[in-house]
Structure 1
């Protein structure tokens, strides 16, 4: 865990080793696993607690496990591990989050919540094979135990994984299953997010008519203050760009930029805006947004593959063929480095298009129905403010797939 501060990294690395040994050992062996900590180990524990007081509770649980390996439940240990994952994610320690999410699912192996957590964390790190195993476990245990909340989370999480892997039918199946369950059993926001995720997948797969239908459902079901409204609008803007409704996309991006401040996401939306303005025949505005996106990319590379994909197509739409090809080759290289399979696929398609040197198709006008939908969405984004406080139980604020 080299990304962590020295004492914290050392202590958490030792605890992962202890927990793995405990999880993999039968009870007679567990009873003899641990000896009393050395003076140096206790000093490192004290230093780690001082540096990260949020970890004091979990570290107390792990210390109790070492003192009495047979007297503590896997559920308590799993909960402590989950708190470490939350801490790692809050502090952008991605590798630590992966290791602790997976160890959480190991120490409490029949807990679907922890299996789904491991699935989400590994999926977000593009570790697709590992993610698939965890989501299958989470779905199976949730179904066997009648845990509707985790069954919904499992379907939504697995559906999002299928979307990222380009499995259109699998994404449809799981996202629809999660949406239907959420509509019956949970808040409409869960069903809305499922429709949104399915819409996003259909957009990049070229199924724009069906994507528009899903978008209308998502907008109807999303609460006004839902935290994903601006990102949903950005996805709709991409749908408009791919459908050659460039001016409408550009107007929508302007609204979204007022609401999104997270640097990596903002860089992506700026690049999408540059793409829209290029298609709309406004090269000066496109160039301004492109420069702002590149400046953010210098220090915030969390969404670099998709951002560079947008930048490459912005150059293509402006007729800057050589620059577009260089940008697309860079996007492809970054996507390969980060194992981003969907952007790799999209960029290869874009490169072939650029190398034909064919001018972009003419802009199209939207239907009255589309314009009415966009007006409603624009109103929602203009009046959007994030919800304060947690969502009502049992979902909490971190239910997302």
Structure 2
């Protein structure tokens, strides 16, 4: 399996321990009492794994009890979740994926673990429908025990999945539910702002720019100073500007965004949007710089690959680089169909349908001066928030499991 190739990068004993635990949790290994000799072998292997990876020693101790059949499933699930976090930080996505799913299988009635499995599948899985299944499980479980923090995040995650599958109506319904629950049940104003942010992207893709402005203003007002999605909000507003034909303004804002320490998967989509905006502004040099950054990262961090290649195709079309436009559009379609990321398909098909034309993309010509003025007023506010995002007042804290498992 593909997971074994990642385990091969780890010490033999640690790799065996990681394989053994995830397969046992998944029911692939038969349940049987271990002989005294086998128990000693298991102990020695787990002990050696803890020496090799001391940062995971506590987790291996908990999982040794699980392997022996004497551990509390909740303790084993928490250990597996922590290993998944460790794997994510070291760019071992398949280990992270298997371990969040193993934790969810140990505690099938736990909405937090279902949420974590949904999130990891959305980030790293080949089929977004698998993530959809975990979010679908988390929603009623969270509602039943009144865990509103998980309930809100599961609706947000489900909304993202529906959007990726091209069902904007269902996505919008989940985002609205998340917004209401965040305001009235979980008491998280900032999370209600996050739903406004997600609705902003939907509105922009549908060309409803007045609604997009409203959602952008609400999200900006709701997000705390150091909220992790501040750069993402600025990026997505730049996408609104791009859709409105304000390419130079979008590129300038994205230049500021890309100076932040964004996670590598977000850098992929960020650089691709900057490439598209730069091309729209007629700046071929900046397009090639930004597209080069995308191509350098995308094979390693492919969560947004379909949308990123669609952006590169649109930019190449703007610059009349017909060969690049066709190649990037076909690559976008291939990834979108393989990973069920259907939201990228319309833009890629539009490029292929207009190759060689004088008007490569469809600008909105009905943008009023009032709408442009409203957009221009938001740019400095967003720029200031991006600059202050990780300033001297920022303090790192370790979030709770529900927050670590945010959608």
User: Into which bin does the TM-score normalised by the smaller protein fall?
Assistant: 0.7 to 0.9
TM-score normalised according to structure 2 size = 0.86
2:175 and 2:148 map into 1 onto residues whose CA distance is: 15
In the alignment, what sits opposite 1:79?
78
2:27 and 2:292 map into 1 onto residues whose CA distance is: 51
The offset of 1:50, in angstroms, is 2.4
Structure 1, unaligned stretches of length 5 or more?
A: none
Alignment of 1:53 onto 2:69 = no
Contact 1:126 1:340 in 2 (8 A): no
1:221 and 1:354 map into 2 onto residues whose CA distance is: 42
1:206 to 1:166, Cα distance in 2 relative to 1, 3 A = farther
1:141 to 1:33, Cα distance in 2 relative to 1, 3 A = farther
1:84 and 1:9 map into 2 onto residues whose CA distance is: 12
The offset of 1:249, in angstroms, is 0.5
1:302 and 1:120 map into 2 onto residues whose CA distance is: 12
Q: C-alpha deviations, 1:205-253, integer Å up to 9, x for none?
A: 4443323322221111111211211111111111211221111111111
Of 300-309 and 57-66, deviating more is 300-309
Aligned residue among 379, 386, 399 for 1:381? 386
1:61 to 1:38, Cα distance in 2 relative to 1, 3 A = closer
Contact 2:159 2:173 in 1 (8 A): yes
1:272 to 1:19, Cα distance in 2 relative to 1, 3 A = closer
In the alignment, what sits opposite 1:332?
333
2:158 and 2:150 map into 1 onto residues whose CA distance is: 12
1:21 to 1:332, Cα distance in 2 relative to 1, 3 A = closer
TM-score normalised according to structure 1 size = 0.87
Higher relative contact order (CA 8 A, sep 6+): 2
In the alignment, what sits opposite 1:112?
111
**1:221-240 to 2 correspondence within 5 Å?**
221-240=222-241
Contact 2:351 2:361 in 1 (8 A): no
Contact 1:111 1:141 in 2 (8 A): yes
**1:1-400 to 2 correspondence within 5 Å?**
1-2=3-4, 3-4=6-7, 5=10, 6-21=12-27, 32-36=32-36, 37=38, 41-67=42-68, 69=69, 72-124=71-123, 125-184=125-184, 185-297=186-298, 301=302, 303-354=304-355, 356=357, 358-360=359-361, 367-385=372-390, 387-390=394-397, 398-400=404-406
Of 343-352 and 272-281, deviating more is 343-352
1:200 and 1:348 map into 2 onto residues whose CA distance is: 20
2:181 and 2:333 map into 1 onto residues whose CA distance is: 38
2:324 and 2:66 map into 1 onto residues whose CA distance is: 59
Contact 1:325 1:355 in 2 (8 A): no
Q: C-alpha deviations, 1:41-94, integer Å up to 9, x for none?
A: 444333322232232222212222344x3x543322222221222122122221
How many aligned positions are there? 392
Structure 2, unaligned stretches of length 5 or more?
A: none
Q: C-alpha deviations, 1:155-182, integer Å up to 9, x for none?
A: 1221222222222122111111112221
Of 202-211 and 115-124, deviating more is 202-211
1:134 to 1:274, Cα distance in 2 relative to 1, 3 A = closer
CA RMSD of aligned residues (A): 2.8
2:80 and 2:290 map into 1 onto residues whose CA distance is: 42
The offset of 1:296, in angstroms, is 4.4
1:80 and 1:298 map into 2 onto residues whose CA distance is: 30
The offset of 1:117, in angstroms, is 1.0
1:35 and 1:340 map into 2 onto residues whose CA distance is: 49
Contact 1:85 1:100 in 2 (8 A): yes
Contact 1:179 1:194 in 2 (8 A): yes
Q: C-alpha deviations, 1:299-339, integer Å up to 9, x for none?
A: 65554332222111111112233332222223323444444
2:361 and 2:220 map into 1 onto residues whose CA distance is: 30
Contact 2:87 2:96 in 1 (8 A): yes
1:273 and 1:359 map into 2 onto residues whose CA distance is: 18
